[in-house]
């Protein structure tokens, strides 16, 4: 059988496309048989890996993609880089632990959540991103249509579930109850990353029920890394750099109610 036929039968599409270049390179570098074989298989593997990442990326619902490498840690000194480095090794996914990222608007909560989600995705895990609002809408709709179990099961499936923007809108008790059911299901089985502009003491307000808030925090915090970002908005920094804002605002704390994101 011809080489191209073999590659086709073995579904080695990526190698097929790059065959001439790979052979040319191998000749130039005077590779041995083993090295050449490694190079050839690596080409196919790289292509398959990249395709896998891209197809999984489409199912994550990330609003945009940012990486840890794109995060300017010097700008946000309250973030311990060691903790981020440790999280990036994805031990938290294997141990089904949670991450809670707190801080005022613009400090990079969503950026970090997506960047850690990207790491998990690249390692082959299923990742799903949702704002709290859209998740609650889904669950409520599912309950009205008598299929809440199925919806909860769908949200249980991702190894990493990112729930963004907890705290912008308060929840009714019923909604908080649905959220609690989801967390109970994922507890110690799969990781959840939550971002919030509210500190834990204010979570009672979000859930409209102090007892439920305590139960939710209990599930979330049992195995959890909390990042409390105390710093300035990166968006404001960029605007200032562009000359849109004049003076340097004081550093905002998490309790400050800023509506920049709304």
Which positions lie near Mg ion, rule CB under 5 A? Answer: 109-110
Should residue 105 be labelled a site residue for ligand ADP when binding is judged by CB under 6 A?
Answer: yes
Our finding on whether 131 is near ligand ADP (CB under 6 A) is no
Which DSSP string corresponds to 74-114?
GG-TTS-HHHHHHHHTTHHHHTT-EEEEE-STTSSHHHHHH
Q: How far apart are CA 167 and CA 205, in angstroms?
A: 9
Choose which of 98, 106, 151, 182 interacts with ligand ADP (CB under 6 A).
106
234 is in the binding site of which of ligand ADP, Mg ion, none (Cβ under 5 to 8 A by kind)?
ligand ADP
Residue 224 CB, nearest approach to ligand ADP (Å): 18
Stretch that binds ligand ADP, among 28-36, 49-57, 68-76, 90-98 (CB under 6 A): 68-76
Q: Which residues of 38-63 are buried (b: 16+ CB within 10 A; e: fewer)?
A: eebeebbeebeeeeeeeebbeebebe
Q: Is 261 in the site for ligand ADP (CB under 6 A)?
A: yes
| Residue 235, binding choice from ligand ADP, Mg ion, none, Cβ under 5 to 8 Å by partner class | ligand ADP
Per CB under 6 A, 67 contacts ligand ADP: no
Q: Which residues contact 185 (CB under 8 A, 6 or more apart)?
A: 152, 155, 156
60 versus 195: smaller Cβ distance to ligand ADP? 195
What number of chain residues touch ligand ADP (CB under 6 A)?
18
Contacts of residue 208, defined as CB under 8 A and 6 or more positions apart, other chains included, come to: 170, 171, 172, 173, 176
Dihedral pair phi/psi, residue 121, rounded to 5°:
-60, -45
Residue 71 contacts ligand ADP per CB under 6 A: yes
Find the shortest distance in angstroms from Cβ 73 to ligand ADP.
7
Told to check if 107 binds ligand ADP by CB under 6 A, we report yes
Region label for 165, one of left (φ > 0), alpha (ψ between -120 and 50) or beta (otherwise): left
Q: Are 75 and 205 in contact (CB under 8 A)?
A: no
Contacted by 66, from Mg ion, ligand ADP, none: CB < 5 to 8 Å by type: ligand ADP
- Residues near ligand ADP (CB under 6 A) are 66, 70-72, 75-76, 103, 105-111, 195, 234-235, 261
């Amino acid at each position: 059988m011809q080489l191209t036929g073999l590659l086709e039968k073995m579904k080695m599409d990526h190698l097929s496309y790059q065959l001439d270049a790979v052979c040319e390179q191998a000749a130039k570098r005077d590779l041995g048989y083993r090295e050449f074989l490694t190079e050839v298989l690596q080409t196919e593997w790289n292509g398959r890996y990249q395709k896998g990442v891209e197809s999984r990326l489409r199912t994550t619902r990330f609003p945009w993609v940012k990486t840890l490498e794109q995060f300017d840690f010097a700008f946000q000194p309250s973030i311990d880089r060691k903790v981020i480095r440790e999280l990036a090794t994805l031990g938290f996914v294997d141990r089904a632990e949670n991450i809670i990222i707190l801080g005022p608007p613009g400090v990079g909560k969503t950026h970090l959540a997506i960047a850690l989600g990207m790491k998990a995705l690249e390692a082959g895990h299923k990742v799903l991103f949702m704002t709290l609002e859209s998740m609650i809408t889904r669950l409520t709709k599912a309950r009205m249509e008598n299929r809440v179990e199925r919806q909860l099961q769908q949200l249980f499936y991702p190894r990493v579930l990112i729930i963004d923007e907890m705290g912008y809108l308060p929840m009714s008790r019923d909604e908080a109850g649905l959220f609690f059911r989801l967390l109970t299901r994922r507890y110690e089985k799969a990781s959840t990353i939550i971002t919030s502009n509210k500190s834990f003491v204010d979570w009672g307000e979000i859930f409209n029920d102090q007892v439920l808030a305590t139960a939710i925090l209990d599930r979330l915090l049992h195995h959890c890394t909390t990042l409390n970002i105390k710093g300035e908005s990166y968006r404001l920094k960029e605007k200032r750099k562009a000359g849109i804002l004049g003076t340097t605002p004081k550093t905002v704390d998490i309790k400050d109610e800023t509506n920049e994101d709304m």
